[in-house]
Structure 1
Amino acid sequence: MSYTGADWALTGGAAAVSLERSDGTYDKGSANLCAQCHQIRHPRPAATDGMIEVTSTRFGPHHGVESNMAVGEGGMGVTGAPGGHYNLIDAGCVSCHMGENTDHGFEAELGTCEGCHSDIESFDYNGTQTEIQALLDQIKPLLIAEGIIDVTILDDDGEIGNRSVPGTYSEEVVNAMWNYMYVIEDHSFGVHNPGFARALLEYSLTALGG
């Protein structure tokens, strides 16, 4: 401790982060600190004779999967790629969530986006969030019909939540649920990596016969 302002310097963000549950690496300077926590934590499901046992009521990759989403890895049945927000923005998460227009809440603000998107009026840029939400809305009833979503547990809005029902399901159903939860837990509704988020949900929709 020097008991100076230097003690508050950012540490731990210099080294690239090897993502624990995929083959990817997140390497965006100071944003590497974010990736140390915001990544998939649970192992991807593995099938035995085409079936997978779900043992948790909170099945899915993790509550914060943003670094995996950015690099396009960790989904089921989909080979992804890094999105533009990873490839083109030097400081990754920090550039958008800690820009000059943001406070200490880390919430992205449109003023920060304007440096690249001068015509932006909402985060639903080019309708990406609307499209992703529409896919999620198509998939959820199909998962409910398969019995893997618990209809007795409601969210804060009084709607059926996304808790899973422990049991043994086909590989297709579990993979679809994984991808669905992956996009839900990313919280950006496609903004972090539109192409990959779309591919994950389209795979799920096809796997469920939608």
Structure 2
Amino acid sequence: MGSSSCANCHSSKAAGRDGSGAVTVDFAEWAKTKHAQVSIGCEQCHGPASIHVASPTADNILTMPTIANSVVCGQCHTGQKSDFDVSPHAKPVEDVMTEAKANPGFYGKTCLRCHSGPFRADLIENTVDNSVPAYQRADQIDANIQALTNDQIVSYVNATTEAPSCVNCHDPMRTTPNLDLTGGQAQLLRAIENSDVSVVGQPSTPVKIISTYNQICANCHMGGATSTSNPSDSALNSGTSRPNFHENPQFYMLMGLGGVTGAGGVPTTMAHASRPGQCVGCHMPNGRHSFTVSLDISCQPCHTPADAQARLAVQGEIQLRLYNLVSRLQTWSKATFGDPDLWDYTAQVPTGKTAPPQSQVPIQVKRARHNYYFVLRDLSLGVHNPVYARLLLDVANQNLDALGVSRAAAVPYNGKTVPAYVKATLQEYLRRSYQAEMSAGHGV
């Protein structure tokens, strides 16, 4: 049929929907894209259009939510699709989908903002007023999400096969000012780097702000399901069931935000926060869509492979420092309650044990456990921001010093090997925190 046939009904000066509800496209903007220039038209993505042109309905052409699937892009972008398929983004978190179905009015409207490719594409990436950047329209987007019915949310859950998908990072219909690492046009929906955290850097920043932030990875990887980390004493005293941040605070760690830091006055960021591309610079070398890091490519041009390998030793150091910190917390708990496991958040105390009244847990322990989980849940074991990871562990230990807890290291750091039982212990605490969050429905 050709794209000109589609333009008869779908053409507009602004993307959105017309009075009939039909999707409208700015064809002048589309004509500027690489897709248009190499004759990739509407039917290459949306399927044969003759039946739809003869009798237009929503179910005789490929449209949302199915059009958001990476299979559509993978028809041409085979290399990127192969990379993507082995990445964690390529499949949904089934526990999240279950929670969203069980309580769509709350968990669906929060969790799906990051965990559902089609939900995010339709409600956050698709613009209502294309003259206003999406990240400036948090209230408008949130209002649209809050207006969804339970049945509509469940339909997005049923359509979710990956989180996120290609169209959550790229706009196939228009060029954008957000260039890739090489300065090329990749039709990116958001900037690959952003050092201005004034919008998202406040404790308990709400999810409507997080999910529209103008940094292509950070708008999900900020540790906020309903809000970001809050390290204030008042928040630590009032929120004692589990950590007050989601499992993925990577951008907060990168930018030196979210932990208990004491009096301040010390550096909280390092070169990783300001390197070109930030997350993309390390996790997508040469356009790699598996998001894996390799020392020979990811760490250049800042480090030689040998230097990068040496610096990776920070992971062993942080693992052992985390283990030694949790050992101190266990020592305090054993001395105080007769049980080494009762220092933890109440929902994370092992089954069969009863958490003590949290008024009996001093603020020093609450600060220490907040920092412990913040560093642990970042998952980089210090690589994202070794300066900040060390600071948070130092502050945690200083708080336990104030309670007179012995500093004797459970495992001395030798700079070479990390015992298997140390790794197993940290993995067990990660498992407990994940299980507690899922049991509570991701409601952080």
TM-score range with shorter-chain normalisation?
0.7 to 0.9
User: Match for 2:222: what amino acid?
Assistant: Q
Indicate if the aligned counterparts of 1:83 and 1:193 stay in contact, CA closer than 8 A.
yes
Aligned residues: 190
CA shift at 1:59, angstroms? 1.7
User: Match for 1:197: what amino acid?
Assistant: A
Determine if the alignment matches structure 1 residue 206 to structure 2 residue 398: yes
Over the matched positions of the two proteins, sequence identity in percent amounts to: 27
- CA radius of gyration, larger in: 2
* Aligned alpha-carbon RMSD (Å): 3.3
Q: What corresponds to 2:291 in structure 1?
A: 106
User: Match for 2:282: what amino acid?
Assistant: C
Indicate if the aligned counterparts of 1:72 and 1:81 stay in contact, CA closer than 8 A.
yes
Q: What corresponds to 2:9 in structure 1?
A: none
Per-residue CA deviations over 1:161-181 (Å, capped at 9, x if unaligned) read xxx988332111111111111
Matches of 1:98 and 1:31, distance apart in 2:
18
Per-residue CA deviations over 1:41-80 (Å, capped at 9, x if unaligned) read 24334339xx824442x32432111111111122113434
**Structure 2 unaligned regions, length at least 5:** 1-24, 31-41, 46-72, 74-170, 174-186, 206-212, 334-341, 402-406, 408-444
User: Match for 2:386: what amino acid?
Assistant: P
Distance 1:110 1:63, change over 3 A: same
Determine if the alignment matches structure 1 residue 37 to structure 2 residue 232: no
- SS of residue paired to 1:113: coil
- Quick one: which of 255, 258, 269 aligns to 1:74? 258
Q: What corresponds to 2:189 in structure 1?
A: 11
Indicate if the aligned counterparts of 1:31 and 1:91 stay in contact, CA closer than 8 A.
no
Distance 1:170 1:53, change over 3 A: farther
Matches of 1:32 and 1:116, distance apart in 2:
22
**Structure 1 unaligned regions, length at least 5:** 25-29, 154-163
Q: What corresponds to 2:388 in structure 1?
A: 196
- Quick one: which of 372, 376, 384 aligns to 1:180? 372
Indicate if the aligned counterparts of 1:23 and 1:73 stay in contact, CA closer than 8 A.
no
- SS of residue paired to 1:177: helix
- SS of residue paired to 2:215: helix
RCO higher in structure (CA 8 A, sep ≥6): 1
CA shift at 1:139, angstroms? 0.7
User: Match for 2:317: what amino acid?
Assistant: E
- Quick one: which of 231, 254, 271 aligns to 1:84? 271
Matches of 2:306 and 2:322, distance apart in 1:
24
- Quick one: which of 134, 148, 169 aligns to 2:343? 148
Matches of 2:279 and 2:377, distance apart in 1:
16
Matches of 1:66 and 1:99, distance apart in 2:
18
- SS of residue paired to 2:394: helix
Indicate if the aligned counterparts of 2:217 and 2:279 stay in contact, CA closer than 8 A.
yes
Indicate if the aligned counterparts of 1:136 and 1:201 stay in contact, CA closer than 8 A.
yes
Indicate if the aligned counterparts of 2:312 and 2:383 stay in contact, CA closer than 8 A.
no
User: Match for 2:350: what amino acid?
Assistant: T
- Which stretch of the first structure deviates more once superposed, 183-192 or 66-75? 66-75
Matches of 2:204 and 2:244, distance apart in 1:
18
Matches of 1:21 and 1:86, distance apart in 2:
18
Matches of 1:94 and 1:46, distance apart in 2:
34
Matches of 1:125 and 1:73, distance apart in 2:
22
User: Match for 2:290: what amino acid?
Assistant: G
Matches of 1:103 and 1:166, distance apart in 2:
49
CA shift at 1:122, angstroms? 6.2
CA shift at 1:31, angstroms? 8.0
Distance 1:81 1:11, change over 3 A: same
Distance 1:119 1:11, change over 3 A: closer
User: Match for 1:184: what amino acid?
Assistant: L
- Which stretch of the first structure deviates more once superposed, 168-177 or 103-112? 103-112
Distance 1:104 1:125, change over 3 A: same
TM-score, normalisation: structure 1: 0.74
TM-score, normalisation: structure 2: 0.38
Matches of 1:125 and 1:140, distance apart in 2:
24
